[in-house]
Amino acid sequence: MTVIIVSAVFIIALFSLGLIIRRLKTPNVSSEPGEQSPSSPEEKDPGADFKQILDTLIKLNILIRTDRGFSMDLISKIESIIDDLKALIPDMITRYPGETLTYELKKIGATHLFKTVKEYLDLSPDSRQTQRQVFEKTIESLHDVCVRSREIVDNNETAEFKTMAHFLEGKFS
């Protein structure tokens, strides 16, 4: 448990350091005190999006690790998805910020995975046994989505972006 928390803090520290370095490299634009910055309220810092997703994934990891009734095989499957999302989402945000696939993967990392696991953990032990196959199938689907998305990004298959995004939208939304 301590290793997980230390790892989570280390990851957040690395991410924060990266953001600080990036901000130091960008030139500062001074503006008059009465001037507003040209950025619109709809524009979000991609780093803030990823930090929010990381926070959710860390909470999820702690949640599954502290539930005594949760099996180790399910923990390892979910942690594998978490690791995939941690590696995949920053790459997508950087390389393909406006793509629908990026949005869908961010949504999986920010809400869907946590919600799915939390709903399962909230079940009674008897209900968990009944719903285990359905839950495992959902977790396996999410793992497959992460693997396929990584292949799409690695191979720069931009034609596949929309197809995969529509699939995700229909399956997980």
**Both structure tokens of 101:** 């696939």
Phi-psi label, residue 27: left if phi above 0, alpha if psi -120 to 50, beta otherwise: beta
C-alpha distances (whole Å) from 4 to each of 60, 76, 77, 104, 114 are 11, 13, 16, 27, 17
Nearest to 89 by CA among 78, 79, 77, 101: 101
Q: What is the mean pLDDT of each run of 10 residues along the chain (173 residues)?
A: 70 64 56 42 65 92 90 92 92 85 88 93 92 94 88 79 71 62
CA distance 145 to 166: 12
pLDDT of residue 31: 41
Q: Is the pTM of this model over 0.75?
A: no
pLDDT of residue 42: 47
Contact in structure between 74 and 131 (CB atoms under 8 Å):
no
pLDDT of residue 38: 40
CA distance 15 to 21: 10
CA distance 73 to 58: 18
CB atoms within 10 A of CB 150: 15
Angle (CA) 132-107-71 rounded to 5° is 25
**Both structure tokens of 2:** 């301590």
pLDDT of residue 11: 74
Q: Report which DSSP code applies to 157.
A: -
- Beta strands, E only, 3-124: none
